[in-house]
């Protein structure tokens, strides 16, 4: 008879071949069992579809990666423990000491600091360039440029760049193009179809969509994803099975959620644009947006992010921020709940006046991640928060 420790560890851990699950179960295991040495040898030689260790691959994570690849119409996708994990792993896999990275100056703060504060220590030099330079890459790219990293739409002004044009300029010079597609997500924008080499997203946002998972993703060709997969093993930035399960569940309703995010954000943006208490509204779905035409060409829907300005006045923005009731005061975006933030307190915190001007950000800006509530309720909430 086995002791209770042995029993509790091994009893019940058998393959229940008769129960065929409809959904992919959570393979909450760090490692996988082999029958014999022959099986391990076959695995090592790439002749087996078995799994060895969850930092390398796990069936629940692979299942969500197959969904993510299908969504981006990519040959391959990888899931990471966070968006930052994805960004770090992509950059470490595709850039080396002596290389130059060109990065849009208007970029997620984590990306900026990773490049500027950390990767610079490893000999990867980054040049941060304006929107105009991104649109005219020929005047920026040098013989040392290894890759171009950019976003569209850009936080918080939702300015858009011509993605196909950037991809073409990079390809012509043998430079890798990489987009952070977090704000649009592949339902609204398909960067790989526009010619971009790699598409990265924070899965924490729209992909999961329920504000309860931290994750990241990259999609692209097998050839470009393979070195990232190798780096992910070494850096240990892989997604865990449980968040992979939750992400897979969230992805099943992504098209439905995005349609509603688009419709709600359009309604909110149109309400704000008509309201005389608001000095300016930033939404790519409004004809008044400077990149409305670019957005129409490359986006299917305009997304769930809306930003507005109250005459550049911090106090007025702070009052709206403090007064909303349904909309929650929280960082992040892309969840079912509408969220509000003030860019000068979050993404542009600590920026000088010159840096704010460069980013097109004022102290009176309010950013909304428009959720899936009833649009009329959201509009009523903003209406009361704006006061008379
Ligand atoms: C545009 C963008 N990219 C990347 C990230 C980083 O993602 P994560 O927080 O999942 O690491 C964020 C997070 O806010 C983001 O907004």
Task: List all residues 6 or more positions away from 69 whose beta carbon is below 8 Å from its beta carbon.
Answer: 75, 76, 77, 219
Q: For residues 227 and 208, state if they share a domain.
A: yes
Residues 72 and 96 in one domain: yes
Which residue, by CA, sits nearest to atom 9 of ligand 1? 83
- Same domain, residue pair 266 and 233: no
Is 106 in a helix, a strand, or coil?
A: coil
Same domain, 279 and 332: yes
Best of 84, 91, 214 to mutate for ligand 1, by most ligand atoms within 8 A of CB?
Answer: 84
Structural domain contains residue 27: no
Same domain, 84 and 196: yes
Token pair for 318: 């702070």
- State the distance from the centre of ligand 1 to the C-alpha of 366, rounded, in angstroms: 19
Query: Which of 251, 266, 301 lies at the terminal end of a domain, its last residue?
Result: 251
Instruction: Please report, for the domain that includes residue 289, its CATH number.
Output: 3.90.1150.10
Question: Looking at the domain assignment, is residue 202 inside a domain?
Answer: yes
Asked whether residue 205 falls in the same domain as residue 349, the answer is: no
CA dihedral 291, 294, 296, 301 (to 10 degrees): -80
- 239 and 294 in a single domain? The answer is no
Specify whether 207 is located in the same domain as 231. Answer: yes
Q: Ligand 1 in contact with 54 (CB < 6 A)? A: no
Conformational region of residue 344, where left means phi above 0, alpha means psi within -120 to 50, and beta covers everything else? alpha
**CB-ligand 1 contact for 84 (6 Å cutoff):** yes
Task: Answer yes or no: do 238 and 281 share one domain.
Answer: no
Task: Indicate the top mutation candidate among 79, 82, 83, 250 to test ligand 1's pocket, ranked by most ligand atoms within 8 A of CB.
Answer: 83
Considering the candidates 27, 51, 108, 245, report the single residue annotated as catalytic.
Answer: 108
Answer whether residue 194 is part of any domain: yes
* Residue at a domain's end among 208, 230, 251: 251
C-beta atoms surrounding 108 within 10 Å: 20
Going by alpha carbons, the residue nearest to atom 15 of ligand 1 is: 108
Cα 236 to ligand 1 centroid, rounded to whole Å: 18
- Tens-digit pLDDT profile for residues 311-360: 999 999 999 999 999 999 999 999 999 999 999 999 889 888 988 888 89
Task: Count up the domains in the chain and report the number.
Answer: 2
Side-chain-side CA neighbours of 145 within 13 Å: the count stands at 24
53 is a catalytic site residue = no
> How far, CA to CA in Å, does 236 sit from each of 50, 68, 82, 128, 303?
20, 20, 12, 28, 32
Neighbours of 110 (CB within 10 A): 15
| Catalytic site includes residue 55 | yes
Q: What is the CATH number of the domain that holds 243?
A: 3.40.640.10
- For residues 196 and 328, membership in a common domain is answered with no
**Regions in the chain scoring below 50 on pLDDT:** none
Is 108 part of any domain? yes
Helices (H) and strands (E) in the chain, counts: 14, 12
Are 231 and 282 in a shared domain? Answer: no
Q: How far is the CA of 126 from the centre of ligand 1 (A)?
A: 19
pTM value?
A: 0.96
Q: Is residue 204 lining ligand 1, measured as CB closer than 6 Å? A: yes
Domain end residue (candidates: 234, 251, 268) = 251
In a domain, 25, yes or no: no
Q: Is residue 11 part of a domain?
A: no
Is any atom of ligand 1 closer than 6 Å to the C-beta of 201?
Answer: no
Structural domain harbouring 374: 254-386
Ligand 1 atom closest to Cα of residue 331: 14
**Nearest to 202, CA basis, from 291, 90, 308, 75:** 90
Q: From atom 7 of ligand 1, which residue's Cα is the shortest distance away?
A: 83
Which residue of the set 159, 205, 257, 367 is catalytic? Answer: 205
Closest CA to 146 of 72, 221, 90: 90
Strands 216-220 and 76-80 turn out to be antiparallel
Same structural domain, 277 and 226? no
In a domain, 214, yes or no: yes
Q: What is residue 319's predicted lDDT score, i.e. its pLDDT?
A: 98
End-to-end alpha carbon distance in the chain: 79
Dist. CA 66 → ligand 1 center (Å): 22
CA distance 181 to 202: 8
Structure tokens at 157: 């002004």
> Which residue of 109, 156, 202 sits with most ligand 1 atoms within 8 Å of its CB, as the best mutation to test the pocket?
202
Q: Which atom of ligand 1 is nearest to the CA of 85?
A: 11
pLDDT digits (tens, 9 = 90+) for 255-314: 999 999 999 999 999 999 999 999 999 999 999 999 999 999 999 999 999 999 999 999
Q: DSSP readout, 286-314?
A: STTSTTHHHHHHH-SS--SEEEEESTT-H
């Amino acid at each position: 008879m086995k002791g209770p420790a042995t029993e509790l560890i091994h009893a019940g851990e058998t393959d229940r071949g008769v129960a065929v699950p409809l959904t992919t179960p959570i393979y909450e295991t760090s490692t996988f069992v082999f029958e014999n040495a022959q099986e391990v040898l076959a695995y090592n030689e790439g002749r087996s579809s078995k799994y060895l260790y969850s930092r390398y691959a796990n069936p629940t994570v692979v299942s969500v990666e197959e969904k993510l690849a299908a969504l981006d119409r990519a040959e391959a996708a990888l899931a990471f423990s966070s968006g930052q994990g994805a960004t770090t792993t992509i950059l470490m896999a595709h850039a080396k000491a002596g290389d130059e990275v060109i990065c849009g100056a208007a970029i997620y703060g984590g990306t900026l600091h990773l490049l500027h504060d950390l990767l610079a220590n490893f000999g990867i030099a980054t040049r941060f360039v304006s929107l105009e330079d991104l649109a005219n890459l020929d005047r920026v790219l040098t013989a040392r440029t290894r890759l171009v990293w950019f976003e569209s739409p850009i936080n918080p002004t939702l300015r858009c760049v011509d993605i196909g044009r950037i991809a073409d300029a990079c390809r012509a010079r043998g430079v890798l193009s990489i987009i952070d597609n977090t704000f649009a997500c592949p339902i609204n924008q398909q960067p790989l179809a526009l010619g971009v080499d790699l598409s990265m997203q924070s899965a924490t946002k729209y992909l999961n969509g329920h504000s309860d998972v931290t994750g990241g993703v990259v999609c692209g060709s097998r050839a470009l994803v393979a070195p990232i997969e190798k780096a992910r093993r070494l850096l240990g930035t892989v997604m865990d099975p449980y968040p992979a399960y939750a992400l897979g569940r969230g992805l099943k309703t992504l098209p439905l959620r995005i349609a509603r995010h688009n419709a709600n954000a359009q309604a909110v943006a149109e309400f704000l644009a008509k309201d005389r208490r608001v000095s300016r509204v930033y939404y790519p779905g409004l004809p008044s947006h400077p990149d409305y035409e670019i957005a129409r060409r490359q986006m299917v829907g305009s997304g769930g992010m809306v930003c507005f300005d109250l005459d550049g006045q911090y106090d007025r923005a702070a009052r709206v921020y403090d007064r909303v009731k349904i909309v929650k005061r929280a960082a992040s975006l892309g969840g079912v709940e509408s969220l509000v933030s003030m860019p000068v307190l979050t993404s542009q915190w600590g920026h000088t006046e010159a840096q704010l001007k460069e980013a097109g950000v004022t102290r009176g800006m309010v950013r909304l991640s428009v959720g899936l509530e009833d649009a009329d309720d959201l509009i009523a909430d903003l209406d009361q928060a704006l006061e008379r």
